[in-house]
Amino acid sequence: MSINEDRLKELIETATTDIGAIAYAPLAIIGDRLGLYDALAEHGPLTPRELADRTDTAERYVREWLAASAASDYVSYDPETKRYSLSPEQALLLADTVGPASPLAGLFQIAVAAGGSLPDIETAFRTGEGVGWHEHDEGVFEGMSRISELDFKENLVSDWIPALEGVDEKLREGARVADLGCGYGESTITMAQAYPHSTFVGVDYHEGSIEAARERAAAAGVADQVSFEVATAKKYTGAEYDLVTTFDCLHDMGDPVGVAKHVRETLAADGTWMIVEPLSGDQVDENLNPRGRMFYSMSTMLCTPNALDQEGSHALGAQAGEARLREVVTEGGFTQFRRATETPPFNMVLEAKP
């Protein structure tokens, strides 16, 4: 077997990049938790000693962390002054003081926390059984909450809902909404704050997430508009909803067709189902890019195992694609389906109507 030396060098470079990313991921979490990014955003440029003093941390560790962060392009370094800082773009993604809850740090948190389930996932590879969302480390839920907050604050009320036919008007006048797979409730709370005349029910099968959602709704001052229910998307209660939402979770469900049928049964005759899913192509080769690598990898650790842990024969995965989602929704009884809008590079917003 002949070896293509150039191709071998490319693979080594790829592996070096990947191993560096894996090694940096826990450092990103440390920088987030200890306020290192925040201090750089607020007070930089700083030397390692100055950053350590501002964050009450040990200078020698901070010096190494800064070098790793600069080599990873998440922190900027000036070789003349030997000081470190965050560019506006770096700060937006990493600093709580600038961006909405550090979305990039949230992704690192999910990736690291998901790795804690490696023994269970390895066993699942051998048995074909599932690993439920509830079996993962709390960091998965927290990280998902943080990255979702960015989408909801930036896009949900300003772009996604207005892209649906007549829904924004209904919500402003007063409508009934069920938010399925609500997690910590960011989506439910964001909608409640924007539409004070409407009422909302957040639904999630994970009891711990529902408890957190109730606390957050009370803190946000919308507890009189919002209630939360521990239930699956196939068994939540209520009827005649004007809007049902599923944010980045339909592909996680073992029986998405059964979910579609239940959503259809609980919708008002002129109701709408908003389905937000990862923006992806319908074929594998359309997703062979950095975004696809992230989604496929997280799907292997989180989404597909969760679907296999539930009843049903589907395990769509995070890169299901619009065509496959259309099949699921129409098989569940919906007659109208379209892509209402999209928010590159991560989201597509689908609209289904009876």
- 318 has pLDDT over 80: yes
Name the least confident of 47-61, 132-146, 152-166, 195-209.
132-146
Reported confidence tier of residue 213, pLDDT bands at 50, 70, 90: very high
- 35 has pLDDT over 90: yes
β pairing state of 199-204 and 76-78: unpaired
Q: What average pLDDT score do residues 209-227 get? A: 96
Reported confidence tier of residue 106, pLDDT bands at 50, 70, 90: confident
Q: What average pLDDT score do residues 186-213 get? A: 96
- 224 has pLDDT over 80: yes
Per-residue pLDDT, 149: 81
- 78 has pLDDT over 80: yes
Q: Indicate the pTM of the whole model.
A: 0.89
190 vs 186: CA distance, rounded Å: 6
Is residue 90 within 8 Å of 72, Cβ to Cβ?
no
Q: Please report, rounded to a whole number, the percentage of residues in the chain having pLDDT higher than 90.
A: 86
Per-residue pLDDT, 102: 67
pLDDT digits (tens, 9 = 90+) for 145-172: 888 887 898 899 999 999 999 999 999 9
205 vs 97: CA distance, rounded Å: 32
Reported confidence tier of residue 100, pLDDT bands at 50, 70, 90: low
**Regarding the domain delimited by 147-353, which CATH topology (the fold level of the hierarchy) does it fall under?**
Rossmann fold (3.40.50)
Domain chopping of the chain, boundaries: 5-95, 147-353
Tokens of 63: 């010096």
Burial pattern 296-306, b for ≥16 Cβ within 10 A else e, equals bebbebbbbbb
Q: What average pLDDT score do residues 276-283 get? A: 95
Q: Is the bond preceding residue 196 a cis peptide, omega within 30 degrees?
A: no
Average pLDDT, the chain: 94
Reported confidence tier of residue 113, pLDDT bands at 50, 70, 90: very high
| Domain 5-95 part of CATH 1.10.10.10 | yes
Half-sphere exposure of residue 96, counting CA atoms within 13 Å on the CB side? 13
The most distant pair of C-alpha atoms in the chain lies apart, rounded to whole Å, by 70
